[in-house]
Structure formats: structure tokens, C-alpha cells
Amino acid sequence: MIRKILILLICAIPMAVEAQRDVLVITRRGMHEKAFTVGDPMTFETIYGQWFSGTIEDLHHDTVYISGQAFNYNEIGAIRRSDNKGELNGLGIKMMVAGAGLAVISAVNGALRQDHPNQWFTTSGYIISGALLAGGFILAELRPKTYKLGGRFKLTYLQISK
């Protein structure tokens, strides 16, 4: 008797669970770029110019549910790649400010000492301020990428569930 109940429960499990979910796929010229499914964080801009951010709660019949709101996937105009490069962007800006500040301080000190403009900066001052400016610029350019949909990037809804 227990064996029959156990077999019945094991056979009933596939009817109660869903193994695969629908998927949103970003493609670039037909090649897979990134995929989103239920539980993935997503930041996107609608075709109406509004930005929304949150975790995908559900994907059902061409509709994306995020933060209690429903959007048709055709209403998504751009998707921002979510990674930790925003911290590098802030560090890059701080480095550029420090490099420019060092150059300004050297020039102001040279002017106050009434030195000739050729003597305002030392070789190490050029190297340090230049490295801070160049390194900061490179880090600031590593900001999160935005996939603008419609041209090179396409958003496809893959309906796997019923």
C-alpha cells in the first residue's frame, strides 16, 4: 500500500512543477548576446522614455512582470547591462579630479612663488597628473553598457511554457 502511494506521488510531481520558464533573449545580428529569465535583475527603458529597474517576477505570454508592473516585451526600448562597472565609473571621475587638481595646485604654487612657467611642473608632476587623468578617463569609459533595441540589437521572447 505504501509503495503504491509513493509511486503515485512520484508520478504526480511532474504535473505540479514547471521545469522551464520563458526567456527574453538579446541578439546582435542574429547571435546570442544575453538572456533574461525569472529571477534575473533587469534595468530597462520603455519606448516611452521611462527607466524601470527590478527583478523579473514572471514571464507569461509576451509580458514581463517587474516590481508588480506588467510590460509587453515590445515596449522595451533599451536594456542596461547590470554589472558592477558603475563603481569603476565613480573611481575614474575621482581620479580625473585628483589629476586635474594636482595640475592646478602645481600651477598656482608656481605662480605664487613667481617662478617662470617652465618651472611650475616637474617631470614627476607631469607623469602623476597625466597618469591620473588618463587612468581616470579609461575607468570612466567602462560604464555599464546599454543595449539599444531596434537596430543592431533585437529582443526576442522565447515562449517555452504553455
CB 4 within 8 A of CB 40: no
**pLDDT value, residue 22:** 81
- Look at residues 94, 36, 44 and name the one whose alpha carbon lies nearest to residue 69: 44
Work out the pLDDT band at 82, boundaries 50, 70, 90: low
Q: What is the mean pLDDT of the chain?
A: 82
Domain boundaries, the chain: 9-82+144-158, 85-140
pLDDT score of 84 more than 60: no
Q: What is the pLDDT of residues 2-37, one digit of tens each?
A: 888 888 878 777 776 665 678 888 888 888 888 888
Work out the pLDDT band at 49, boundaries 50, 70, 90: confident
- Look at residues 62, 22, 26, 7 and name the one whose alpha carbon lies nearest to residue 156: 26
**pLDDT value, residue 18:** 60
